[in-house]
Amino acid sequence: MTLTLDITSNTDDDYNVVQNSTIEITWESTTDVDVYAWISFFPAGGASTSYSQFFYLDAQRSGKKTLQIGSFSLGAHELRCFPNGGSYTPVATLSFNLVPIGTALKPRGQKTAVNETTGSIIRLRADGASSGVKVFKLLR
């Protein structure tokens, strides 16, 4: 099972997520998915047997689920996907950072760049356009 995870709402390009916010999780698999494949939240590096809220993928190769992130402790966390109900070895992991309520996040698709000549800071969108005078393109 090869699976890709993403958080598509209430996050920024660095995968910061505000505590107690609602997020949308998406997944996509290139192979069939077991009815009991599941996704849960974990503190980064925590044991896979110490999960809190979770949901089954219901044999769906792709989909999305909206979840309340809750008041987990601030800092590094992970979403992990497991191939079936009896497995605690993840097939996909996505790291994110839980930040305090009230933290302003940059919209996804924007980066901050520094003009090395003037030292001024500009904001960039994924299409390369900027809110400053000069246009810088980000290489990904």
Are 84 and 128 members of one domain? no
The DSSP 8-state label assigned to residue 131 in this structure reads S
Instruction: Check whether residue 49 and residue 85 sit in a common domain.
Output: yes
Instruction: Determine, yes or no, domain membership for 123.
Output: yes
14 and 75 part of one domain? yes
Same domain, 53 and 72: yes
Domain of residue 135 covers 109-140
Share of the chain above pLDDT 70, in %: 75
Among 46-60, 89-103, 108-122, the least confident range: 108-122
**DSSP H stretches of helix in the chain:** none
User: Does 59 score more than 50 pLDDT?
Assistant: yes
**CA triplet 128, 25, 97: central angle to 5 degrees?**
70
- Predicted confidence at residue 47, as pLDDT, reads 92
Nearest-angstrom CA–CA distance, 58 and 94: 20
- Look at residue 137 in the predicted model and tell me its pLDDT: 40
Confidence of residue 2 (pLDDT cuts 50, 70, 90): low
Q: What is the pTM of this model?
A: 0.72
